[in-house]
Copies of this chain bind each other. A is one copy, B any other.
């Protein structure tokens, strides 16, 4: 897909502009996410400049998805009530034109979330975010990972990512040492980030919420997803530079998300 790769300058310049928009517009991001990362996810959204709202019961999630700027659906701990809330929210977001992100955490071997992921996939997520194993499992091309660890590489998932993007008409982001983002036509690889993001729970999950925040302020979903990843991973690098371990990294990361500038992203972005 390299033929369709986006020029580096375009991607980076759009990111600075979209970061400014997120901070000015404070998009309301509804998250139906897992118990483990829900606090960190809310703090990440607040730090980057968005407004989190964890409206995750089925009687309220559909109406809220119409009003929200973006929605995140993350399958990490799919309790029955939350599963119902997810289906209502996805359908409602789709009908209202609210961009929504599907993060199919640990699908493949685990039956309930795998079945649910496929049903949500059929609704048509604006963005799908996952590691290579999850993307392969969603495309029906792999057995999934062991929990949140990717046992496959990003390279293994290029074809599956393209297939998912073709089917949904949306964007797919595959997380790894080098992230891949594609809408089936354009694609880009982003090499920023830090290994400590994988040593803090929610390091991946919260990124899905940030994607929803950026998609709330920009209708070009490919540009929005790319911007979210760049802001997030450049902030991670800034945090790692002042941290002494995963605990202080998580704290510094929130500080960095609140202070990272468009210039920082432009200077540090490693796009190919």
Contacts and interface: CB of A to CB of B under 8 A. Distances in A.
A43 B201 CA distance: 6
Contacts of A250: 43, 247, 251, 254
A83 to B, nearest CB: 9
A233 B109 CA distance: 36
Contacts of A202: 39
Contacts of A106: 53, 55
Interface string A96-128: 000000000010011111000000000000000
Contact of A244 (B147, B149, B200, B255): B255
A106 B30 CA distance: 13
B246 A252 contact: no
A173 B200 CA distance: 28
A42 B53 contact: no
A161 B185 CA distance: 56
Contacts of A67: 109, 146
Given A37-B39, A51-B147, A54-B77, 19 more contacts: A36-B52, A38-B39, A39-B39, A43-B250, A46-B200, A46-B246, A47-B199, A47-B246, A55-B147, A57-B78, A57-B79, A59-B112, A60-B110, A67-B146, A79-B81, A199-B258, A245-B255, A247-B250, A247-B253
13 contacts: A28-B146, A35-B54, A39-B39, A43-B247, A46-B199, A51-B148, A51-B149, A57-B112, A64-B110, A67-B146, A245-B256, A246-B254, A247-B250
